Amino acid sequence: TASLGLAVYSWWNASHAYQRDLGSLKDESKRLADEAQRNAVESVSQVLDRIEARLRQSIGESLGRDLMRFQAEAVSLVTIRESHLRLLARDYEGALRAARECYSSAQSGNTNYIAHAFDAMADTLRAAAKEGVSLSNQSIADVRTLVLNYPQLHQDGRAITVKELIDGM
């Protein structure tokens, strides 16, 4: 019976040690799994933060460019309307100035307004000539400089018309 008691005690002791070791392994496994999860979450969080920062920067730059383009288009729209109104009021200097401002804004916005600017300049130059109104040398020089510096002067009939009108003054 002593050997049976020793066997039971050995079995109990081994079982208890096994349970203790198993508990330790479970605790260690849980600790390692929790640590791995924290590290993974931290790593993914850092990657996502970098991606978010890049996206914010990219979106911000894109929105900034779009905003600048829309502002330039709004200025073009307003100045071409101003040019037409000044032409109706026979303010030829003001009409030319507004048309030049439209041209400048159109270069960084909607380039379709460049054609409108040249049309407004031509209309103003024709109206001033028809009325016998002399435009200032500065206004003529400003329009001449603008037209001569226009990169597509020789391909754009409207620009050519403005150049011819200026040359005839």
Buried-state track 61-97, b at ≥16 Cβ within 10 A, e below 16? eeeeeeeeeeebbebbbebbebbbebbeeebbebbbb
Separation of alpha carbons 148 and 162, rounded Å: 10
Q: How do residues 91-135 score in pLDDT, each as one tens digit?
A: 999 999 999 999 998 987 778 889 999 999 999 999 999 999 999
Task: Specify whether the CB–CB gap between 99 and 120 falls below 8 A.
Answer: yes
Phi (first) and psi of residue 113, to 5 degrees? -75, -15
pLDDT band, very low/low/confident/very high, at 61 (cuts 50, 70, 90): confident
CA–centroid distance for 52 within its chain: 17
